[in-house]
A = this chain, B = another copy of it.
Amino acid sequence: MIAEILSVGTELLLGNTVNTDARDISEYLSALGIDVGWHTVVGDNPGRLTDAVNIAKSRADLIITTGGLGPTCDDLTKQVLAAAFGIELYFDETEAERIRGYFSRRIGRPMTENNLQQAWLPVGCTVFSNLWGTAPGCTFEKDGVRVIMLPGPPRECRAMFENCAMPYLRTLGEGEIVSHNLRIFGRGESEVEFPLRERMNAMRNPTLAPYAKEGEMFLRVTAKAATREEAERMMEPVIAELRESLGAVVYGVDATSLEAVVSDLLREKGLTLAAAESCTGGLLSKRMTDLPGASEVFRGGAVVYATDSKTSLLGVPAALIEEKGVVSREVALSLAENVRAVFSADFGVGITGLAGPDGDGVHPVGTVFVALAAADDSFVREIHGGRDRDRIRTMAASHALDMLRRYMTGLPVEKI
């Protein structure tokens, strides 16, 4: 089975938004063992959309559309797809009722009539109710091609893929395809990939695919077998060997994120964290509190962006800042120790550095000191995150999380 993802929306062609839907769906399909052959984007233009559907029909077994299901006059995906497959639309009373209910309950404002346009669906389709927004999705099969239509807003698209499309696609597969993802922090792409390259190319089942994202590395192991158990058995020795050769930089298999791993470790041990952030400006706190249930493990944080606030709020001695400089090992440590005390947490993290674009005349832009204070020990890493402001901030927060993970699992903390 080979799939084409057909995204509809002039905003994509204008460069107003990036096509994360195609990325997300590709990732899901890849995990399901379904090959993706093409991504196509067209605007809200019925002629070009019709042509694109006809091209997709001629080469793909599965067409997944995103976008163009909403209430505006630009939203034409259902009409065009139905016409291209020679199917009529009908007005779905159940969905209309759900949309009316959505407005009265969630929005608390009267619904404008154009919203009911979304309740028109192809005759004979399986309806995917949208519990995360208004526009329903659907699936139908005709002329040997399976079509799935999903709404464009990324949150709705992901939720509907996971909850509606995924269970359905699972029933179509032959055998089981199972993947596991090794997550790695502290090694670059070529460092991970180069020693594995020959072996990866020779592997057929399981397969191994490396990729890099936001300063982290991922190694995906995928096996196909008659049963899930057999696929798992085939992957076991491969994963064990990779973990052995990569060592402590592997922070988890199928982990969601560094912050999720750290949160789980804290919860398991009944410990808590507080963060004092300067150049990261709240990013570490934000990442810790992205996770539901964060209040059990995250006490809070201080974003001591202004230099004097480091002293007034957290009691970092002004003389220390004067002597060592605000971007220094000593100030990072003082931030970590003091935030730990102020929030009565088990661990304190202190981050101070230069996210740019301006330097301080001493350190190059990208220099960040990250400190971890525990009850009876403390650690500092000096990192150099390049010149990109976002990247520097992401890396600094990730290093703090990695230090915590290593401390709690008995690994060396300062060196990676």
- Interface of A toward B, CB cutoff 8 Å: 7, 10-20, 22-30, 35-43, 48, 51-52, 55, 59, 70-73, 106-109, 112, 114-115, 132, 153, 155, 188-191, 193-194, 197, 201, 209-213, 218, 220, 275, 277, 279-286, 288-290, 292-295, 298-306, 308-309, 312-313, 342-344, 356-358, 384, 386, 388-391
Cross-chain contact of A19 among B23, B36, B42, B218 (Cβ < 8 A): B23
Instruction: Contact check, B289 vs A190: say whether CB atoms are below 8 A apart.
Output: no
A292 and B107 contact, Cβ closer than 8 Å, known pairs A72-B197, A343-B309: no
Instruction: Contact check, B292 vs A357: say whether CB atoms are below 8 A apart.
Output: yes
CA A220 – CA B14 in complex, angstroms? 10
Cross-chain contact of A294 among B20, B38, B281 (Cβ < 8 A): B281
Cross-chain contact of A281 among B24, B28, B285, B308 (Cβ < 8 A): B285
The minimal Cβ–Cβ distance linking A333 to chain B, given in whole angstroms, is 19
CA A24 – CA B13 in complex, angstroms? 10
Q: Most chain-B Cβ atoms within 10 A of its Cβ — which of A14, A343, A388?
A: A14
Instruction: Contact check, A300 vs B303: say whether CB atoms are below 8 A apart.
Output: yes
Instruction: Contact check, A38 vs B28: say whether CB atoms are below 8 A apart.
Output: no
CA A301 – CA B281 in complex, angstroms? 8
Instruction: Contact check, B306 vs A300: say whether CB atoms are below 8 A apart.
Output: yes
A386 and B106 contact, Cβ closer than 8 Å, known pairs A19-B23, A38-B52, A303-B302: yes
The minimal Cβ–Cβ distance linking A387 to chain B, given in whole angstroms, is 8
Instruction: Contact check, A283 vs B281: say whether CB atoms are below 8 A apart.
Output: no
Which residues of B sit under 8 angstroms from A71, Cβ to Cβ? 189-190
Cross-chain contact of A342 among B48, B155, B312 (Cβ < 8 A): B312
Instruction: Contact check, B40 vs A13: say whether CB atoms are below 8 A apart.
Output: no
Q: List 12 A-B contacts (CB under 8 A).
A: A14-B220, A16-B27, A17-B23, A19-B19, A71-B189, A71-B190, A282-B285, A289-B305, A290-B389, A298-B305, A299-B306, A300-B313
Taking A71-B189, A292-B356 as known contacts, 4 extra A-B pairs with beta carbons closer than 8 A to each other, sorted by chain A number, are A15-B27, A18-B19, A281-B289, A301-B302
Instruction: Contact check, B37 vs A43: say whether CB atoms are below 8 A apart.
Output: yes
CA A17 – CA B298 in complex, angstroms? 28
Closest chain B residue to A115, Cβ basis = B190
Instruction: Contact check, A132 vs B388: say whether CB atoms are below 8 A apart.
Output: yes
CA A212 – CA B314 in complex, angstroms? 41
CA A71 – CA B191 in complex, angstroms? 11
Which residues of B sit under 8 angstroms from A189, Cβ to Cβ? 70-72
Which residues of B sit under 8 angstroms from A108, Cβ to Cβ? 384
Which residues of B sit under 8 angstroms from A288, Cβ to Cβ? 281
Which residues of B sit under 8 angstroms from A190, Cβ to Cβ? 71-72, 112, 114-115
